[in-house]
């Protein structure tokens, strides 16, 4: 591979600049898990993979970070998971190709990773369920233990890591992951991932990690290595197999990783494909001005079948007495091109290709083409034909041909005690290993969205939108049963449901969930030799 640093491909830059306003974001009202929270007195949202992210305002993630609303793509998912239907999965990047692959029975993958720093809890269950669901939809699914990250970024010993790793795996299996169809691995034992991390690390530099993660001169090198390892995890399904739409289900705190992975994946690409109108190079903004000028060719060209660059330059100048600086640049470029015809074409740029690959691509292009030093203009291919040809050539010549990885984001659960759900505060969460009775007790002790008195509750209704117990129903206890989730919600807000009996019911459901789950874990304990993952680290 060559190692020229490149800016992100047009593909990924374009997608990441798409920000959505979320004014229209509404999950089916009764099912919404936050009542469309509208806190505006909150701190600036920062997404920090190693910090203690609490997200106070999910809207900011759309506006500031360019995460798209899951709602807007829900209709394109054939058989959406209840976490999607209920708005628990609230956002995504570029999930459409995954949804399309699912619909068309084409290959797709899903991957997520777990840092073995403690017991798996009901928050992790969301991600386990997302992976399992993608597997049931026919995806090629990967679950990994981020042991290198836990060791480097969290200082866990290998002994602790082994214990927790096993617990994560057992819960994942107990919830329905099929190890025959899917892949389990740990970072430390996966040579392919480590090699890929090394290659991707060539495309990233320190300043970038500094600005994305706030790393500084004190950050240890292994922590940085755990970042490139995660980049490799994210690209791994496409590297071991063919390039295919791949989704990474995670919490929004992992979004910085996803964005960097999308950039790095793009930077390894041999070729970039874009539209152009003349021989000179243009930016995205300049291109859209050219597109407009081309569309109006009838108005100014002596021969509209052959509009000239200078003619277009004059037309643009006539449109306004006060050209923007981009418009002026375009006019300049068009004037320099003089009589050259303005003519749409698909341009394939050489970004990282080997000489051989560039030569092969030239040969592979059918129809009219023009070859330049660093690009080829094609006149008879559309953009998607050109992109797939370029990808084929890249793959034949040893490149990865990565598609930009996609992501979906789930809401964080509120802690049972009201604040943040935190692994270090046992009463705030329910561990999948909690004794079922203990789990039930935690539910009974949980904070609620109830009123001060039963009378008031009957009169005003409960605040299900602010109730951690309602969240338990919506995220877990109601399982696939939307009617039941809706019933709990309606009864609560209509004052028919009182917190005592509501928690009682939730506690019972939790108790049976935990005992069932733990029984399945026990069954898997005897079958661990069937799975292909080393549960005892070779490191000590």
Cα 428-432-433 angle, rounded to 5 deg: 100
Q: Which does 330 bind (CB under 5 to 8 A by kind): ligand TRP, ligand SF4, none?
A: none
With CB under 6 A as the contact rule, which of the stretches 89-97, 172-180, 248-256, 394-402 interacts with ligand TRP?
Answer: 248-256
Q: Which of 197, 248, 301, 477 binds ligand TRP (CB under 6 A)?
A: 248
The least CB distance from residue 288 to ligand SF4, in Å, is 50
Q: How far apart are CA 435 and CA 526, in angstroms?
A: 20
Binding site for ligand SF4 (CB under 6 A): 448-450, 462-464, 467, 469-470, 492, 497, 499, 502-503
The least CB distance from residue 434 to ligand SF4, in Å, is 20
Q: Which does 450 bind (CB under 5 to 8 A by kind): ligand TRP, ligand SF4, none?
A: ligand SF4
* CB-CB contact of 162 with 513 (8 Å): no
Q: How far apart are CA 259 and CA 406, in angstroms?
A: 9
Q: Which does 149 bind (CB under 5 to 8 A by kind): ligand TRP, ligand SF4, none?
A: ligand TRP
Q: Which of 250, 472, 488, 499 binds ligand TRP (CB under 6 A)?
A: 250
171 lies in the binding site for ligand TRP (CB under 6 A):
no
Cα 58-64-65 angle, rounded to 5 deg: 85
In this complex, which beta carbon is closest to ligand TRP, that of residue 176 or of residue 251?
Answer: 251
Could you give the dihedral angle defined by the CA atoms of residues 280, 281, 282 and 287, in that order, rounded to the nearest 10 degrees? 60
Question: Is the torsion defined by CA of 152, 155, 158, 164 positive or negative?
Answer: negative
Q: Which does 351 bind (CB under 5 to 8 A by kind): ligand SF4, ligand TRP, none?
A: none
Half-sphere exposure of 396 (CA within 13 A, CB side): 13
How buried is residue 218: exposed, middle or buried, by Cβ count under 10 Å (0-12/13-18/19+)?
exposed
* CB-CB contact of 178 with 220 (8 Å): no
- 60: number of Cβ within 10 Å: 16
The least CB distance from residue 48 to ligand SF4, in Å, is 30
Largest CA distance in the chain: 84
Q: Which does 182 bind (CB under 5 to 8 A by kind): ligand SF4, ligand TRP, none?
A: none
421 lies in the binding site for ligand TRP (CB under 6 A):
no
The least CB distance from residue 84 to ligand SF4, in Å, is 22
| Best CA proximity match to 109, nearest among 267, 214, 243, 296 | 243
209 lies in the binding site for ligand TRP (CB under 6 A):
no
- Binding string to ligand TRP for residues 118 to 147, with x set by CB under 6 A, is what? --------------------------x-x-
**Who's near 78: CB < 8 A, 6+ residues apart?**
99, 102, 103, 137
Q: Which does 458 bind (CB under 5 to 8 A by kind): ligand SF4, ligand TRP, none?
A: none
Give the binding-site size for ligand TRP (rule: CB under 6 A): 15
Cα 112-117-123 angle, rounded to 5 deg: 55
Residues that bind ligand TRP (CB under 6 A): 49, 111-115, 144, 146, 149, 230, 233-234, 248, 250, 254
């Amino acid at each position: 591979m060559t190692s020229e640093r490149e800016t992100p491909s047009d593909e990924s830059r374009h997608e990441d600049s798409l920000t959505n306003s979320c004014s229209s974001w509404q999950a089916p009202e009764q099912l919404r898990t936050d009542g469309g929270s509208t806190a505006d007195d909150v701190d600036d949202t920062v997404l920090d993979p190693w910090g203690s992210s609490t997200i106070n305002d999910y809207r900011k993630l759309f506006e500031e970070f360019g995460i798209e609303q899951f709602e807007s793509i829900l209709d394109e998912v054939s058989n959406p998971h209840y976490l999607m239907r209920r708005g628990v999965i609230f956002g995504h990047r570029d999930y459409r190709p995954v949804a399309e692959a699912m619909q068309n029975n084409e290959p797709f993958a899903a991957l997520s990773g777990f840092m073995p720093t403690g017991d798996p809890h009901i928050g992790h269950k969301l991600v386990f369920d997302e992976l399992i669901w993608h597997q049931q939809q026919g995806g090629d699914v990967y679950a990994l233990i981020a042991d290198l990250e836990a060791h480097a970024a969290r200082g866990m010993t290998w002994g602790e890591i082994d214990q927790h790793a096993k617990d994560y795996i057992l819960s994942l299996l107990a919830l329905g992951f099929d190890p025959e169809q899917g892949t389990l691995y740990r970072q430390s034992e996966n040579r392919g991932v480590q090699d890929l991390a090394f290659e991707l690390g060539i495309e990233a530099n320190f300043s970038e990690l500094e600005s994305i993660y706030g790393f500084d001169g004190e950050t240890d090198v292994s922590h940085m290595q755990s970042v490139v390892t995660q980049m490799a995890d994210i690209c791994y399904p496409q590297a071991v197999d063919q390039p295919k739409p791949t989704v990474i289900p995670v919490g929004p705190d992992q979004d910085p990783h996803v964005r960097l992975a999308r950039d790095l994946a793009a930077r390894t690409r041999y070729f970039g494909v874009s539209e152009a109108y003349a021989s000179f190079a243009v930016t995205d903004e300049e291109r859209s001005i050219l597109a407009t000028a081309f569309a109006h060719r009838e108005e100014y060209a002596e021969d509209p079948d052959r509009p000239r660059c200078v003619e277009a330059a004059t037309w643009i100048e006539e449109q306004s007495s006060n050209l923007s600086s981009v418009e002026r640049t375009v006019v300049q470029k068009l004037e320099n091109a003089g009589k050259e015809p303005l003519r749409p074409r698909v341009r394939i740029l050489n970004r990282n290709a080997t000489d051989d690959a560039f030569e092969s691509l030239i040969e592979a292009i059918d129809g009219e083409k023009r070859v330049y030093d660093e690009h080829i203009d094609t006149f008879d291919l559309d953009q998607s034909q050109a992109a797939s040809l370029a990808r084929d050539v890249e793959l034949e010549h040893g490149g990865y041909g990565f598609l930009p990885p996609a992501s979906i984001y789930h809401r964080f659960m509120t802690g049972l005690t009201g604040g943040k759900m935190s692994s270090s505060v046992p009463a705030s969460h329910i561990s999948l290993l909690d004794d079922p009775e203990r789990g039930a007790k935690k539910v009974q002790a949980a904070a609620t969205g109830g009123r001060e008195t039963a009378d008031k509750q009957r009169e005003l209704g409960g605040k299900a939108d602010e109730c951690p117990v309602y969240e338990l129903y919506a995220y877990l206890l109601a399982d696939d049963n939307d009617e039941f989730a809706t019933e709990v919600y309606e009864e609560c807000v209509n004052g028919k449901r009182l917190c005592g009996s509501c928690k009682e019911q939730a506690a019972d459901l939790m108790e049976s969930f935990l005992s069932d789950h733990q029984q399945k874990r026990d069954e898997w304990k005897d079958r661990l030799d069937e799975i292909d993952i080393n549960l005892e680290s070779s490191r000590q």
